[in-house]
Amino acid sequence: MTFNGIKQMASETKLPLHEAALVAELSETGNNPEETRAQLGEFLRVILEESEKQYGKVQETLTGLTGTNAKKVYDRGVLYHSPFTHVAIVASLSICESNASMGRVVACPTAGASGVIPGVFYALAKENEIPFDHLLPGYILASAIGNVIATKATLAGAAGGCQAEIGSAAAMAAGALAYLSGGDAEMVDSAAALVLKSLLGLVCDPVGGFVEVPCVKRNAIAVTAAISAAELALSGVSSVIPFDETVDAMRRIGRTLPMELRETGLGGLATTPTAKKAVDRILTRFQKS
Amino acid sequence: MSLLDVGGPVMIGPSSSHTLGALRIGRFGNYFLGKTPDKAEFFLHQSFGQTYMGHGTDRALLGGVMGFGDADRAVKNAFALALSRGLDFSFQQEDLGEVHPNTVKMLLYDGAMPQEIWASSVGAGMIRIIKINGVDCDLSGAYPTLILVNKDTPRALGMILEKIDANVANLYLRRINKLLAKALTIVELDSDLTLRSLLEIKSLSVIQEAYYVKSLSAPIQGKGGEGR
């Protein structure tokens, strides 16, 4: 599946972009469009439920390195961002801190990057009061954008670094936001490409190998990047490099990343003095319990 | 990949490889026994062994052994729930040799003799069962699976296949011991066997041991944990 392929099918059949993605899915996997739509709807429902439930809450995470950040940002309220982006940031932190405390999440596209999509969709539901049925086409399209990346490259940090997880999540969120805001196919392409280009090369270097530092806060920063990219694209700013080619570049970059920077905990932030001290502290605490 | 692989699944965090995969491995053990064991001993290899506490791999394995589903909130409280259900458990690190970094050996007791299952979590929540009671295999757990130890004699396979009333997706055969004339037959099916078919297979003269493991993606029966 390529994004160009979906765009072409949409223009030939006069179908909306997300419907074209469902048809492309049918022709590639044989999956029934109505069943796919219903199942994706279930995933979106869980995302909105969990965002509502965990919003701004303190969580007791497995390592204790995170867990209070969503509440801090929620309590402080809007500073520089719009209320929309503020809600997106809080929802994103809330989901990721819930994930780190063995809460229920939707691994869209992965568990480690599971906060970006909820950020955008919960803000649309809560702040802009977009009803569920109008959000679902955006979730279908986000999944299709992710599937383009999975087909051409990878969604796994262990294979392609964090660009493949958070980068992909941000591209999916930006594309969906542009689409749900009335953007045409070229705007969706640009929104996804613009944010992915900004996150290319991002490495996967979590402290101790655990899904907490820097993953939780990276989700929150990425959701603002996704919103920025959608805003640029909707204003008519186009990406010079189209989305499909950006994904090809991501694949090539991922292949040249050394093993130390692909979810092994052996490079980058994971090897800083503070990270090493934190891991020692965590392991001591585990041994006591 | 499909749209559904990207848009989901719903799971208990924090990691699809270290938590979801572990939960599914444990659940395979539950389905293999057909019940929650009295005692479960887990031996964790490499990455599983080094990071299991920070990923909740231990709670996930234990929750799985109790039959909890992929998104059951009770996984978080698996230690307390295991104790209250009389399930004794232990975790330790062990070098399991040349296997995937995320591999676990499980000894599951229902009575004195344990069932020994080796399994790897290979990414995105997918698992491979690589050894059962000392015999190498390669199962995904995604299909209803019939695992048979049978006499290594002519027409044994034909007799088994004759009784199977579901479509066969994959079929594996391996000789366990030529001297004892024992063979392993693993049949992955597209749909569940009828009880009648299973009983007929179990009563065949060539069958020495028979296990029927339902698909990991089958709907969870009973109440599972308490947190759904």
Domain boundaries, chain B: 9-139, 145-213
Mean pLDDT by 10 residues, chain A (289 residues): 96 97 95 97 98 98 97 98 98 98 97 98 98 98 97 93 97 98 98 98 95 97 98 98 98 96 92 97 87
A50-62 pLDDT, tens digit each:
999 999 999 999 9
In a domain, A90, yes or no: yes
Q: CATH says B9-139 is which class?
A: alpha beta
Look at residues B55, B2, B159 and name the one whose alpha carbon lies nearest to residue A282: B55
**In the prediction, which pLDDT does B1 show?**
80
DSSP class of A274 = H
**In the prediction, which pLDDT does B77 show?**
97
Look at residues A107, A82, A78, A112 and name the one whose alpha carbon lies nearest to residue A96: A112
Nearest CB to B2 within list A31, A210, A282 = A31
Number of domains in chain A: 1
Structural fold of domain B145-213: Alpha-Beta Plaits (3.30.70)
**In the prediction, which pLDDT does A5 show?**
97
**In the prediction, which pLDDT does A269 show?**
97
Minimum Cα–Cα distance from B69: chain A residue = A104
User: Does pLDDT of B219 surpass 50?
Assistant: yes
Average pLDDT over residues B217-227: 70
Mean of per-residue pLDDT scores for chain B: 93
Q: Beginning with the edge strand found earlier in the chain, give each strand of the sheet holding B39-44 in spatial order.
A: B88-93, B39-44, B103-109, B114-123, B126-132, B135-139
Name residues whose C-beta falls within 8 Å of residue B221's C-beta, 6 or more positions apart in sequence.
Answer: none
CB of B34 within 8 Å of a chain A CB? The answer is no
* Shortest Cα–Cα distance, A218 to chain B (Å): 15
Q: How far is CA B225 from the centre of its chain?
A: 19
B1-16 pLDDT, tens digit each:
899 999 999 999 999 9
Name residues whose C-beta falls within 8 Å of residue A127's C-beta, 6 or more positions apart in sequence.
Answer: A83, A84, A87
CB of B197 within 8 Å of a chain A CB? The answer is no
List the 118-157 stretch of B: residues with Cβ below 8 A of A.
123-125
Give residue A216's domain range.
36-288
Residue A68's Cβ-count burial label (10 Å; 0-12, 13-18, 19+) is middle
**In the prediction, which pLDDT does B19 show?**
97
User: Does pLDDT of B228 surpass 60?
Assistant: no
**In the prediction, which pLDDT does B100 show?**
93
B150-164 pLDDT, tens digit each:
999 999 999 999 999
**In the prediction, which pLDDT does B127 show?**
95
Nearest CB to A144 within list B3, B73, B123 = B3
**In the prediction, which pLDDT does B227 show?**
45
User: Does pLDDT of B193 surpass 50?
Assistant: yes
Q: Do residues B228 and B74 make contact, with C-beta atoms less than 8 angstroms apart?
A: yes
A144 contacts B13? CB cut-off 8 A: no
A116-157 pLDDT, tens digit each:
999 999 999 999 999 999 999 999 999 999 999 999 999 999
User: Does pLDDT of B224 surpass 70?
Assistant: no
User: Does pLDDT of B223 surpass 70?
Assistant: no
**In the prediction, which pLDDT does A227 show?**
98
User: Does pLDDT of B222 surpass 80?
Assistant: no
Nearest CB to A147 within list B3, B9, B13 = B3
CB of B10 within 8 Å of a chain A CB? The answer is yes
In a domain, A25, yes or no: no
